[in-house]
Structure 1
Amino acid sequence: MIGSMWQLYCIAVFLLISPVELETIVVHTNSLPCDVEENKTDKVKIVCHNLDRLDRLQTLTQDVQQLTIINGTFVEDGSLTLPPFPELEHVIFKRSFLNFLSNSNPWPANLTKLSSITFEACWSSTKGHKSGFLYELSFSSENFELLPALKTLNFYNNTLSGVHSVHLLKKLEHKNIEGGTVFCNCSDEWYRSWVEVNPHFSKETLCYVNSSFLIIACTTFKNIPVQTLMETKKITEELCPPNCHCSVTGFQMNKKEPFVRVNCSNLGLKEMPEQIPPITTSIEFVKNELQNINALFINPNYKNVKHAFLSNNKIEEIDEEHFLDFVHRKEEIVLFLENNQLRKLPIAVLEYIVKKNSDKYIWLLRLAGNPWDCVDCSFIRVVQTLLNQEGKFNVEFQRIRCDVTNQPVILVDVDEKCPVRKPLDTIDYLNMAVALVFIIFLANFLHNVYNYRTYNRLPWIMICRHRKEQL
């Protein structure tokens, strides 16, 4: 008897000194697919599976502090508001369809302690996609306006289609986006909305592109880390020249290098800006007063530029040495020089482009609207060769005209204007040698006749023969 009482006493002491967090009682409710975990301080964690109505949770204890909902399916109707649990601090949704996030507010006003909400692998809409279905999650500040204690939003392995009305979200202390994907595009609004929210993106969070955007240039954001895109956009904006517009329009699919465009058109520029983002790949300096474009060739900030749109300026000439070095360093060049004051382009550059043009090398030149010099036959020949390379140059042939005659350069009859001399062959050289010998013989004969008539001297060969006969 004494032994039994001693055992009960030891068990009671053990229960009193055991850590609180290790003592939980799991209660399986009969009416709900939920498990309730209670500990000795009355802290309650509830885990529910396969719910379709939030108001069904009213029968649970009011002391719940953490609510986890797994595989829930909540469509928009009048039963999508959580019960007013006064002690609730954390809500976690896992693998759940949350259609109510688009238009309704599931949080009652008296959830005064709710400080953290987590969405893991959830979605609020389903869209058709070329590879199947795209399960997207979108939300707005209005979804959280009635939560005064909210400090943290966590998004784990979701496909976030966007953020709307960011005024409340930017006030939160912690906004974590880990794994999953985020819809990305090249608009300034997209970038600035995320800058305002200022979330923490993990390195594993990638961009995705909606199938409806496949027709525009932004599709190359696919599978680019969002963190990388945000950093690239930040550098681009910080180094953008005054009054210009700079944007990141995508990334190369293979090399993962950004496409960065700098647009300084219609600004009356007389010189190209010294400072542009060094990752710039495309410049648009259209309708300015540029006369010199050497910065494109020698300024290190322009070293990655492949597309240069310089139409409607006052460019008169291009330095041959710098231009040739530029094309040597590039496998792809798009150069728009329309409506300038160019009369010639360096022949060595054009010959190099003609020679290297292939599937690996891509050069697109727009040359229309310049007063081209059609007197220089060497220049016209190489320009025509350049224009005649089928499938390589998309130029308006009829608008590339000669200065004086206004004739399209492609139609100039160079063979008639500047006939090509046939190269000499072996017979020609033999004929020239015979002609030379004949001329020498004739000159010698005339010289001998002159000496005979003037000095009565016979040619030395006759003198030798006469002496031989005398002997």
Structure 2
Amino acid sequence: MPPKVSSAMSWISSSVVICLQFRPLLLFVFLDLCVASLGVTNVEYISHYNQHNFTCEGWKGAPEAAAGNCTRYGRNGALRCYGGIRNLPAIPEPKMHRLQDIIFCGWPKHTFNPITDLQPFPKIRSLIIEYSEMREFVFDFPEMFYLQSINISWTNLSQVNARTFKRVHALRVVDLRWNKLVQLDGPLLLPRHFEELYLADNPWNCTRNFKWLLVPEKGAIVVDRDDIICMDKKYRDRHMLTVMNFKVMLRKECQTHDDLQNCTCTMHHIIPKTHIPLYTINCSNLQFRTMPSYIPTNTTTVYLNDNEIIDILPLRNNPYYRHVVDIHLDNNRIETIDVLEGGYWFEHFRLLSLRGNRLQKLPVYALDNALDGNLDANLLLLSGNPWQCTCIFIMRFREILMKYNEITRDAINITCTYKNSSPVRRASVLSLTREDVCKPEEEPKIYPLDMLNAVLAFLILLILSKLAYDYYYYKNFGRVPWIVMKLP
């Protein structure tokens, strides 16, 4: 036996002999002080519940449950309460002070206040709360020197503060499985000698920051971290460590490339079975003049809104964009998309948003071919551009908008401008007809052919009038027309 431990045990033995001269109650108090002074409170403690295999399962069938009473087991050991603590005042205070293991089956309140609810048990070493409606701790645990094990399971506990267990100095084990915990603000602040933390079987939201689980000195205490499953909509049924590993890798990858240092890189999905991560890159409103030359592998969505981009050629010839299916390029300076014609990306995209750019025309036939053969195309947004109301283009463009109305969902907001009109006239493309755009803008009111027809009509009337006049005079006066008299 080491000298230090042997000396300590001898000191305790001599103290016990002295304490035998005191009353029994003082004996326990003195022994506790002796043990606490040597720091022996941190030695491994075997709970009475482990010895007797106590559990809360089926607690509602116990006789005490109807009255919400507690039952004490052993001389100094355990207190088990079913559905309440109504008979707690009937237990003598000295016996209460000696209790070391407390188990609450069906805690009757929605909250648990460690300061007041544990005040009757100053020497508690093990606390169990199971099968209850408890949702939160009202306050953090107070200064405690004996409590070594906390097990809270099968409750509605939904949040735990990082400082909740900080002042429980002898704490070694915390079991928080089978609750309703969704997130932790960060790693729990725990005593230096803490050993085991259990967090599995909770509906964790992995969109929150749990990257600290990957840090050895912080995550190693979580014994079951390999078994923690995400339950949020985005990462449901994925292992938390897998999700956090992908997030850390993505963050490093984005930070190491100059083009993306100011962008936001996020993981929006993990494909089931294959566990391939899918990324979203947001570089909006960063005054980009060109599209980033590099984006991480497995990026499927890119936001480049509110920049100064003119050229979208990378969508055709940059292999990093080959698997980008959703791209947002609203409010840039794009004047043409002709470069996309016949390219792989144009025939496989899912979403293309070009609202608020400088597009006046586009290759309608190429767009028709791309949309007709692209079964994945879901959304094409083209409103807010200065489209020109020219006869050939706008009529074909209108046909495309109507043909693919399920994809061009903002077609009702697409307008065009009549060229060289003063004042400037704009019209909804869908409301235009061929007569509206397929005739000269300043069409004359009288055509030359109309003038010729008018002259001929006048001459015919003149001839008919002269004929009627001559007939009248011949009938009444017998005078023939002058032209007749001159005929040979």
TM-score normalised by length of structure 2: 0.58
Pick from 197, 209, 218 the counterpart of residue 191 of structure 1: 209
What's 2:84 paired with? 52
Unaligned runs of 5+ in 2: 1-45, 55-63, 255-259, 440-488
Contact 1:374 1:403 (8 Å CA) reproduced:
yes
Contact 2:154 2:178 (8 Å CA) reproduced:
yes
Equivalents in 2 of 1:194, 1:116: separation in Å? 23
Structure 1 window deviating more from structure 2 (164-173 vs 334-343): it is 164-173
What's 2:184 paired with? 163
What's 1:118 paired with? 151
Equivalents in 1 of 2:277, 2:324: separation in Å? 11
What's 1:334 paired with? 351
Count of residue pairs brought into register by the alignment: 357
Pick from 71, 77, 88 the counterpart of residue 33 of structure 1: 71
Q: Following TM superposition, by how much is the alpha carbon of 1:33 offset from its aligned partner in structure 2, in angstroms?
A: 2.6
Call closer, same or farther: CA 1:340–1:32 in 2, change over 3 Å. closer
Q: Which amino acid aligns with 2:203?
A: T
SS at match of 1:286: coil
Call closer, same or farther: CA 1:108–1:395 in 2, change over 3 Å. closer
Pick from 107, 129, 144 the counterpart of residue 72 of structure 1: 107
SS at match of 1:239: helix
What's 1:180 paired with? 202
What is the root-mean-square deviation in Å for CA atoms of aligned residues?
A: 4.5
Pick from 203, 227, 231 the counterpart of residue 245 of structure 2: 231
Call closer, same or farther: CA 1:321–1:119 in 2, change over 3 Å. same
Structure having the higher strand fraction is 1
SS at match of 1:140: coil
Residues 50-105 of structure 1, C-alpha deviation per residue, up to 9 Å, x if partnerless?
A: 252497786657676655444433455785115445472x4333323335x43134
Q: Following TM superposition, by how much is the alpha carbon of 1:160 offset from its aligned partner in structure 2, in angstroms?
A: 0.4
Structure 1 window deviating more from structure 2 (160-169 vs 388-397): it is 160-169
Unaligned runs of 5+ in 1: 1-20, 39-43, 125-136, 210-218, 420-471
TM-score normalised by length of structure 1: 0.60
Equivalents in 2 of 1:312, 1:387: separation in Å? 21
1:351 aligns with 2:368: yes
Residues 154-186 of structure 1, C-alpha deviation per residue, up to 9 Å, x if partnerless?
A: 3222220333576725986643312232245x5
Contact 1:94 1:120 (8 Å CA) reproduced:
yes
Contact 2:228 2:239 (8 Å CA) reproduced:
yes
Equivalents in 2 of 1:256, 1:264: separation in Å? 26
Call closer, same or farther: CA 1:349–1:80 in 2, change over 3 Å. farther
Equivalents in 2 of 1:393, 1:35: separation in Å? 74
Call closer, same or farther: CA 1:382–1:292 in 2, change over 3 Å. same
Residues 202-259 of structure 1, C-alpha deviation per residue, up to 9 Å, x if partnerless?
A: 45544445xxxxxxxxx44554443444334333433332112233456689998766
What's 2:290 paired with? 271
Call closer, same or farther: CA 1:79–1:312 in 2, change over 3 Å. closer
Contact 2:291 2:314 (8 Å CA) reproduced:
yes
Q: Aligned residues: percent identity?
A: 21
What's 1:93 paired with? 129
1:292 aligns with 2:311: yes
Call closer, same or farther: CA 1:93–1:303 in 2, change over 3 Å. farther
Contact 1:120 1:158 (8 Å CA) reproduced:
yes
